[in-house]
């Protein structure tokens, strides 16, 4: 009995330490985003919303935020379109070199993003393609597509392959069978993978740095400001991104009925 209580206590203590280790830095960043003195150091003075207003007034920050959202949304749309087709090809169709195809899809996860960014820069330059948010979207699709493909592949593989056949028996054409039967069954996995793609794209630095040209995303702007030290506006931006992530998770819960245990 005592041993069981000790094990429970030890596990609870370990969990508490882990949660503090993971979330204390985030809480500190959010706290100091409201600090009036503008220095990330105790004692805390404030609160104030001056740094949030400073971010809102800064045209560079606004432009970077728009670019980040545009790249993330464009990346997500491309990943959904390409990833769904690739996932069905891997899960449903038996063809030669299927394992090789799946391995190639996973390759961007194994390569350093710095190497991918430099390679994409050389590729676009050699073809005479100007760097912009569109080339950044291509780079982001390359590194986030595996998340969409393998998430959907596992979900599609778990479905009964006779479901589309049953829909066809009832008079549905292939398009109707997909949109009315298959798509609702994989919707939760698709939305969950899309959330992961959005979060990864918003946070991506290396590939964005080498592929976006003269434009900026939020991670690039934050990196530029951090070179001069920790700025209170950086804390404000970080707090906004944390809030955006929480809102995304809430939307996933409401829209796709995903339940996190």
Contacts 24+ apart (CB under 8 A), 54-58: 54/232, 54/233, 54/236, 55/233, 55/236, 55/237, 55/240, 58/233
The C-alpha atoms of residue 141 and residue 125 are separated, in whole angstroms, by 19
Long-range CB pairs of 166-170 (<8 Å, 24+ gap) are: none
Domain 58-256 top-level CATH class: mainly alpha
pLDDT digits (tens, 9 = 90+) for 177-202: 777 878 888 888 888 888 889 888 88
Percentage of residues of the chain with pLDDT beyond 70 = 87
Give the Cβ contact number of residue 207 at 10 Å.
Answer: 26
Give residue 43's pLDDT: 67
Q: What is the pLDDT of residues 62-81, one digit of tens each?
A: 898 899 999 999 999 999 99
Closest by Cα among 255, 130, 120, 143 to 199: 143
Q: Could you state, in order of their start, the residue ranges of all structural domains in the chain?
A: 58-256
What is the model's pTM? 0.80
Query: What mean pLDDT comes out for the span 8-20?
Result: 82
b/e burial code for range 73-108 (CB count within 10 A of at least 16 → b): ebbbebbbeebbebbbbbbeeeeeeeeeebeebeeb
pLDDT per residue over 138-181, tens digit each? Answer: 999 999 999 898 888 888 888 777 777 777 777 777 777 777 87
Task: Give residue 2's pLDDT.
Answer: 61
Give the model's pLDDT for residue 30. Answer: 78
Query: In the predicted model, is pLDDT for residue 259 greater than 50?
Result: no
Mean pLDDT for the stretch of residues 38-56: 71
- Residue 259 CA to residue 261 CA, distance in Å, equals 6
């Amino acid at each position: 009995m005592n041993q069981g209580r000790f094990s429970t206590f030890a596990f609870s203590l370990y969990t508490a330490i882990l949660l503090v280790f993971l979330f204390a830095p985030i809480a500190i960043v959010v706290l100091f985003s409201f600090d009036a003195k503008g220095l990330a150091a105790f004692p805390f003075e404030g609160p104030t919303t001056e740094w949030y207003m400073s971010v809102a007034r800064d045209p560079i920050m606004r432009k970077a935020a728009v670019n980040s959202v545009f790249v993330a949304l464009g990346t997500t749309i491309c990943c959904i379109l390409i990833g769904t087709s690739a996932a069905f090809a891997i899960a449903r169709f038996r063809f030669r070199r299927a394992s090789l195809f799946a391995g190639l899809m996973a390759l961007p996860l194994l390569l350093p993003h710095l190497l991918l960014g430099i390679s994409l820069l050389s590729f676009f330059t050699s073809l005479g393609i100007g760097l912009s948010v569109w080339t950044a979207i291509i780079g982001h699709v390359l590194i986030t597509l595996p998340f969409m493909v393998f998430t959907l592949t596992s979900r599609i593989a778990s479905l009964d392959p006779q479901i589309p056949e049953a829909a066809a028996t009832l008079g549905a054409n292939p398009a109707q069978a997909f949109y009315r039967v298959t798509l609702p069954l994989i919707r939760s996995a698709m939305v969950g993978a899309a959330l992961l793609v959005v979060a990864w794209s918003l946070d991506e630095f290396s590939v964005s740095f080498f592929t976006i040209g003269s434009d900026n995303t939020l991670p690039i702007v934050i990196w530029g400001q951090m070179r001069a030290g920790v700025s209170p506006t950086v804390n404000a931006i970080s707090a906004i991104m944390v809030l955006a992530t929480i809102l995304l998770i809430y939307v996933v819960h409401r829209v796709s009925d995903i339940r996190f245990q």
